[in-house]
Chain A
């Protein structure tokens, strides 16, 4: 399989309620490196084993959650092809100018899919200054910190009409769907979707409210590093959601928790290798507990119920003015 259409989700912009505390988590606990700050006060970060300029942008806001995710296209031609196919699919596309709001990134196209999430696509992005060695390379230059996250991996989104979203990913992004979960009447409850050999680049769960984020996931080296992450969660009094455990779906060795602004984070390792010619794995919805939490075999209520909203669909997120930002940053917290 040539990997030349959608390479991966390469950039996410997250909203945080407390920039200082949350940034401290991403840098010193998850182990990302700060790359730069934008004029409007956002912070750009990357994992130590990623090559591109940055992969995570944190934006101080009054609501937690995800602004958008951006997928990297394999070539300029593919980017333009995807833009045309997105419009033909029926989603209006807007243009985000190069270097406008994400340092190091070229032109991006943005649109909203059936589940109410804003997706973006891009091709050009500068290489990061701090990046993995390529000439007789060592494993790393600076020792990885904290949970030692290697890279941004995938995210799980909740929203309506995931069947259409799945079709979009297949038809426009050139992705395939290694694993699904269906309701007894044969409708899609969840889908795990990839554009590469990764078990998933993204996943959807059918949900009546549009535009929700379940979690954002970072890749770790192995099961030992999942245990190391659990130690960091406990030492720093982060709120654990589930794990360490094994997903039967994707086979991930995993742990979930909440960062200080209430965004759910997964760190994991050990998934299977996906191939487009392998038969699809299919789960019945009454087996989802076992599919998700293989060791206990039981559904954990918080896991499916607690999800975060995204901003209203259709538009890029509204940036705060300098004055609003100052107010968010400096105002004494409300007292009742």
Chain B
């Protein structure tokens, strides 16, 4: 997996975790145990890990289902974090995705 060089910050909670360049942000987040999401398909299909990249450079390595990320959302940096890898320090936010809040309440 290589070194975890980049810091990812969850704006809503202030939680931080480290993520490598070849690592998906959701995977690193799950590994770090800092949520908010534990579940999902990890394949860009189910839309559960929808978040917004507030700042920082990322690379979308997997295709995301258009069902969940429209063209205009994509342009605003709204993304599925199971499909993106960091290219620097990144700040992400939950936005108004209620699913994530629900998941958080579950554990």
Interface residues of A (CB under 8 A from B): 17-18, 62-65, 239, 241, 258-264, 301-302, 305-309, 333-336
Closest Cβ neighbor of A238 among chain B residues:
B42
A302-B39, A334-B74, A336-B53 as given contacts; A308 in contact with B46, CB under 8 Å: yes
Q: Are A262 and B44 in contact (CB under 8 A)?
A: yes
Does any Cβ of A come within 8 Å of B62's Cβ? yes
Among residues of B, the one whose C-beta sits closest to the C-beta of A306 is B46
Residues of chain B in range 42-101 having any CB-CB distance to chain A below 8 Å? 42-46, 48, 53, 57-67, 74, 77, 79, 84, 99
Using known A-B contacts A258-B45, A305-B102, A306-B39, determine if residue A335 contacts B59 with beta carbons closer than 8 Å: yes
- Please indicate the chain A residues that have their CB under 8 angstroms from the CB of B59 in the complex: 333, 335-336
Q: Chain B contacts of A335 at CB under 8 A?
A: 59-60
Interface residues of B (CB under 8 A from A): 38-46, 48, 53, 57-67, 74, 77, 79, 84, 99, 102-103, 106
Chain B contacts for A17, CB-based, 8 A: 43-45, 62-65
- Least Cβ distance of B49 to chain A in Å? 10
A306 to B62, Cβ gap below 8 A? no
Q: Which residue of A lies closest to B53 (CB)?
A: A336
- What is the CA–CA distance of A241 and B45 in the complex, to the nearest angstrom? 14
Q: Which of B41, B63, B106 contacts A264 (CB 8 A)?
A: B41
Residue from B39, B41, B53, B103 within 8 A of A262 (CB atoms): B41
Can you pick out 20 interface pairs between chain A and chain B where the beta carbons lie within 8 Å of each other? A17-B43, A17-B62, A17-B63, A63-B65, A64-B41, A64-B43, A65-B65, A239-B40, A239-B41, A239-B43, A258-B40, A261-B44, A305-B39, A305-B48, A305-B103, A306-B48, A309-B67, A333-B63, A336-B74, A336-B79
B60 in contact with A306 (CB, 8 Å):
no
Shortest CB distance B81–A (Å): 12
The list of the 7 closest CB pairs from A to B, nearest first, reads: A262-B45, A64-B45, A302-B39, A262-B43, A262-B41, A258-B41, A239-B42
User: A262 touching B46 by the CB < 8 A rule?
Assistant: yes
Q: Decide if A261 touches B43 in the complex (CB within 8 Å).
A: yes
CB distance from B71 to the nearest CB of A (A): 10
Instruction: Name the CB-closest residue of A to B78.
Output: A336
A284 to chain B minimum Cβ distance, whole angstroms, is 22
